[in-house]
């Protein structure tokens, strides 16, 4: 039977946090989570809802708690409250998340030039992001757009998935923006989206892999080749390699132009963009929830069940197509295998290492 965890946050999974034993008729526990804040949750709300297995649900509930609780008066989440949250509350858009993060800087510094200490792990719930990686991407955006300055970054933050403690301050531009946000009732748009697909497709990058599909055999479909391939291994290989290297992004839904002739690609709906044909993922599965579940199932059965928290999957629209974005965080504590094979990134390729090569790689890149 499922029980409430004793030391991890039941909503966002933050590890090693204080909690009380079960108490009350509803068998509930109080948690003090650095991300969600203090809250009480009943066993039934946890046992009979998807809180514990759906990343999106977790993020919504976590964001709601953080914005509606206090340590003096912690919010109580039972099944009714849970249903109410899910039916009335949505995650903020990327622009809104940027606003929230910038406003957090504003509150912390009280509009002075004092530097602010923060932890990316403690911020997802507050700004409505799904995980630490999204917070890092948002910080990176604020840095690049000149709203904040920071002491430590010398390389792109988004290439550092484990980036946690930071020290930064608002710039003059940032203070002006916070002021604008505080005095405006309407929501202010940021023009630069996170991980714009056009940028991804134009820049070759060792942390990026573009795939045509998850399961659909495009060679079979478009070239009529007879031997059917187990296409999903392509995506899984990249995931395993990113886990064993420095993390990365996989974009599913575009193919390199030189892989297909015009007469072949024209058999399906497509659009030419840069060196790619955009085809999207709805051709494989119209239901994106389902698509995500399928991918997660593949990951847990071919790589590891425990890897789920390291991988974020979301969908974006571009040029009339829907793309699947897979964000893979670097794993720091262990190595991962795809069906007992060891993959790593070598430049912008994924390669299998065996025997001595694998041992040497592991010795050079220690994990604890």
Of 13 and 284, the one with the shorter C-beta distance to Zn ion is 13
Q: In the bound complex, what is the minimum distance in angstroms from residue 62's beta carbon to Zn ion?
A: 6
> Which is nearer to Zn ion, 66 or 237 (by Cβ)?
66
Instruction: Please state the closest distance from residue 66 (CB atom) to Zn ion, in A.
Output: 8
Separation of alpha carbons 236 and 238, rounded Å:
5
For residues 154 and 151, what is the distance between their CA atoms, to the nearest angstrom?
A: 9
Q: Minimum Å distance from CB 11 to Zn ion?
A: 5
Nearer to Zn ion, 89 or 337 (CB): 89
**Ordered strands of the 276-278 beta sheet:** 254-256, 276-278, 271-273
Neighbouring-strand partners of residue 273: 276
Cβ closer to Zn ion: 136 or 338? 136
Q: Whose Cβ is closer to Zn ion: residue 64's or residue 336's?
A: 64
CB of 35 vs Zn ion, minimal distance in Å: 4
Backbone angles phi, psi at 14, to 5 degrees: -50, 135
Dihedral, 111, 117, 123, 128 alpha carbons, nearest 10: 20
Shortest Å distance, C-beta 72 to Zn ion: 18
Pairwise CA distance, residues 141 & 154, whole Å: 14
Q: Report d(CA 115, CA 363) in Å as an integer.
A: 39
Tell the smallest beta-carbon distance from residue 36 to Zn ion (Å).
3
Cα distance between residue 75 and residue 41, in whole Å: 8
Q: Is 291 helix (H, G, I), strand (E, B) or coil?
A: helix
- For the bound state, the minimum distance from the C-beta of residue 39 to Zn ion, rounded and expressed in Å, comes to 8
Of 59 and 353, nearer to Zn ion (C-beta) is 59
Closer to Zn ion by CB, 33 or 197: give it.
33
> Cβ 178 to Zn ion, closest distance in Å?
26
Degrees (nearest 5) of the Cα angle 132, 58, 331? 40
Q: Which is nearer to Zn ion, 85 or 295 (CB)?
A: 85
Local structure of 273: helix, strand or coil = strand
d(CA 134, CA 293): 20
Spatial distance between the Cα atoms of 155 and 23, rounded to a whole number of angstroms: 48
Give min distance, CB of 97 to Zn ion, in A.
17
| Smallest separation (angstroms) from Zn ion to the CB of 34 | 8
Judged by the rule CB under 5 A, the positions of this chain that interact with Zn ion are 9, 11-12, 14, 33, 35-36
- Contact assessment for residue 138 and residue 92, using Cβ atoms and an 8 Å cutoff: no
If the CB atoms of residues 12 and 303 are measured against Zn ion, the closer one turns out to be 12
Q: Decide the pairing of beta strands 321-328 and 248-252.
A: antiparallel
CB-nearer residue toward Zn ion: 78 or 145: 78
Q: Give residues with Cβ within 8 angstroms of 295, minimum separation 6.
A: 214, 235, 313, 324, 326
CA distance 288 to 215: 14
CA angle centred on 330, ends 93 and 7, rounded to 5°: 80
Q: 149 with 167: CB under 8 angstroms?
A: no
């Amino acid at each position: 039977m499922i029980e409430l965890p004793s030391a991890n946050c039941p909503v966002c999974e933050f590890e090693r946090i204080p909690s009380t034993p079960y108490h009350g008729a509803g068998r509930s526990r109080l948690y003090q989570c650095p991300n969600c804040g203090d809250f009480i949750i009943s066993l039934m709300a946890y046992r009979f809802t998807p809180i514990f297995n759906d990343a999106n649900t977790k993020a919504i509930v976590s964001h709601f708690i953080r914005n509606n609780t206090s340590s003096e008066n912690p919010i109580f989440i039972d099944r009714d409250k849970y249903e109410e949250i899910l039916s009335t509350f949505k995650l903020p858009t990327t622009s809104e998340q940027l606003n929230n993060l910038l406003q957090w800087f504003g509150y912390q510094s009280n509009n002075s030039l004092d530097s602010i200490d923060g932890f990316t792990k403690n911020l997802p719930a507050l700004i409505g992001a799904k995980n630490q990686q999204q917070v890092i991407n948002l910080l990176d955006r604020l840095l690049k757009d000149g709203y904040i300055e920071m002491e430590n970054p010398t390389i792109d933050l988004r290439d550092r998935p484990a980036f946690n403690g930071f020290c930064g301050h608002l710039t003059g531009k940032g203070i002006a923006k916070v002021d604008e946000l505080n005095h405006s009732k309407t929501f202010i748009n940021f023009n630069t989206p996170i991980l714009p697909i056009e940028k991804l497709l134009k820049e070759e990058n060792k942390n990026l892999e573009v795939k045509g599909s998850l399961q659909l055999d495009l060679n079979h479909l478009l070239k009529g080749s007879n031997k059917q391939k187990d296409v999903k291994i392509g995506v899984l290989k990249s995931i395993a390699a990113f886990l064993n290297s420095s993390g990365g992004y996989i974009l599913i839904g575009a193919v390199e132009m030189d892989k297909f002739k015009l007469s072949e690609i024209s058999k399906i709906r497509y659009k030419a963009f840069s060196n790619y044909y955009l085809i999207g993922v709805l051709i494989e599965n119209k239901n994106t929830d389902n698509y995500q579940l399928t991918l997660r199932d593949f990951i847990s059965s071919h790589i590891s069940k425990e890897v789920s928290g390291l991988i974020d999957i979301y969908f974006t629209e571009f040029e009339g197509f829907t793309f699947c974005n897979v964000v893979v965080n670097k794993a720091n504590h262990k190595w991962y295998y795809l069906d007992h094979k060891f993959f790593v990134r070598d430049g912008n390729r994924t390669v299998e290492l065996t025997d001595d090569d694998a041992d040497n790689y592991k010795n050079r890149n220690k994990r604890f």
